[in-house]
Amino acid sequence: MTDLIVIEDKHVPTKLEEHQAMMTYVFDKLNLPHKDIFVPTSERQIVFSNIENLLKTIDPSVRIEAYYISKFLAAISSGLFDAALNYIWDETIANLRKKILNYDLDYFFDQITTSPDKKSKFKEDDLDGISDQELIEGARKIELISEVGYKQLDLIRYMRNFASAAHPNQNELTAYQLMGWFDVIIKEVIAIKEPNTAVNIKQLLANIKINKVDNEQKAKEMISFLKDAPQIQINNLCRGLFGIYTRQDANQISIDNIKLLLPKIWDFVGNSTKFEFGIKYGNFVAINDVKSAEKAKEFLSICQDGLQFLPEGTRILEIEETLDALYRTHNAMNNFYNEVIFAKKLLNIVGSTSIPDGIVEKYVFTLINVAISNGSGVAQSADPIYFDLLSKFDTIQTSIAILSFQNERISSKLANSLCKRKFLEIIEIMKEKTVNPLEKNLIDEIVKFSASFDKLKNDTKLNRFVQMIENTK
């Protein structure tokens, strides 16, 4: 008999060894394997010795409905750690969905798709069909989880896919791994409160639908919280305004309020986000959604330079859709087999012609992201295509590629040794292509960098090089 947990100073005895011996006997009689099925009771002891303190950080009203945590502990007691990992991830996803439903659902959907056709079909029930990767990325974009939290959750998502009972594997999990991941999930999702910026955006998007903004001064006061807001939040707010404005059921109060608010934030919105609105306009045209296309064009015309972000024909739409499909496939199961389909499609679309301005940055970042692999292996059929496209980069694309370690999606992967090796291959190609001595010097410093490569973007010396390069443009 082993004492596994202490609650209110009382030991709760369990006969795990007897249960395990019984199951082993049953497996033998049924001619089933039993070796390496159960995690040792000593590992289970570690979890139960620490679980109570972790759970105390969760509000009782939340804890009482946390059914997957109960299943997590049941799996732990049975010595099935791979199943336990699956259950705590299920609790993560269930909790995130609840938080998103209590937020502005339309705003969330605006963040996870550039396709107006898909977005127009989204309903509340469709939230269950959103992939885990899209869910946590969308939650990051609307600031329900932090940037650091997103990176940690993405790692847990990866481990859930490749080391849990969700898929066949031979990976062994330890108590300390599970407790560490559970601690992250509690701190970054279950027990987290909405940050101030997210709350303010939520309130603003809700208020403009029902309360008329009377004058310019009132409009300035409503967006004053954006003064010190991160760029990503300003971009996301503008996406939310676009989503409201282009909906067929948008009321006149919303329309008038956005006409007053938009010019006051437009100059602070990133150009890539502005181009997104142009792309969405093109998508509306492509699916013959005339009314939505008119509203999208009208939205862009509110600001003096807005119409310049309309797309360069339908080709940019094809590139956008293919990049999105490639990225989704890269992050999905069986990516090694499926990536090549979209890699070939991208090669056919791009050919030897130039990339439209509005999609250049996304094109470079997506291509580098998939070319450095997912960290567990290389998509052998797609890899030559990626490097063929990389070799065709022009001066602008080459410069973006050299500085791509600053991109969050790419940076977070560079701690992995395989991703680091592939990234070094890429920048060596870029070194041959660039004629800028500052860029060549920066590449030399990256190659010599001794710390983990996910720290590149925060290095003071490298940032000085980046600033000097930016000043020459």
**pLDDT tens, N- to C-terminus, the chain (473 residues):** 344 444 454 444 456 667 677 777 888 888 888 777 888 888 888 898 889 888 988 888 888 989 999 999 989 888 889 899 999 999 999 998 888 887 777 778 777 765 555 555 556 667 777 888 888 988 888 778 888 888 899 989 988 887 766 655 566 889 999 999 999 999 988 887 766 676 777 788 888 888 888 888 888 888 888 877 778 788 888 988 998 898 888 889 999 999 999 999 998 898 888 988 988 888 888 888 889 889 998 999 898 778 778 777 667 887 898 999 999 999 888 888 889 999 998 988 887 667 888 899 999 999 999 999 998 889 999 999 999 999 999 999 999 999 999 998 999 999 999 999 999 999 999 999 999 999 999 999 999 999 999 999 999 999 898 889 888 87
pLDDT at residue 99, as a whole number: 84
The answer, as to whether pTM is greater than 0.75, is: no
**414: CB partners within 8 A, 6+ apart:** 372, 405, 420, 423, 452, 453, 454, 456
**243: CB partners within 8 A, 6+ apart:** 106, 107, 109, 110, 119
Cα atoms in the Cβ-side hemisphere of radius 13 Å centred on 94: 14
pLDDT at residue 2, as a whole number: 46
Handedness of CA 134, 261, 250, 99 (dihedral sign): positive
Residue with tokens 């940037």: 147
What residue segments make up the domains of the chain, in order of their start? 2-190, 202-309, 323-471
pLDDT at residue 439, as a whole number: 94
Structural element, H or E, at residue 6: strand 2-7
Main-chain dihedrals φ then ψ at residue 6, nearest 5 degrees? -115, 120
Instruction: Please state, in angstroms and rounded to a whole number, the distance separating the CA atoms of residues 226 and 237.
Output: 10
Q: How many CB atoms neighbour CB 110 within 10 A?
A: 28
pLDDT at residue 41, as a whole number: 83
Handedness of CA 262, 268, 274, 276 (dihedral sign): negative
Instruction: Please state, in angstroms and rounded to a whole number, the distance separating the CA atoms of residues 260 and 220.
Output: 9
Written as one letter, the residue type at 365 is F
pLDDT in tens, 91-134: 999 998 888 887 777 778 777 765 555 555 556 667 777 888 88
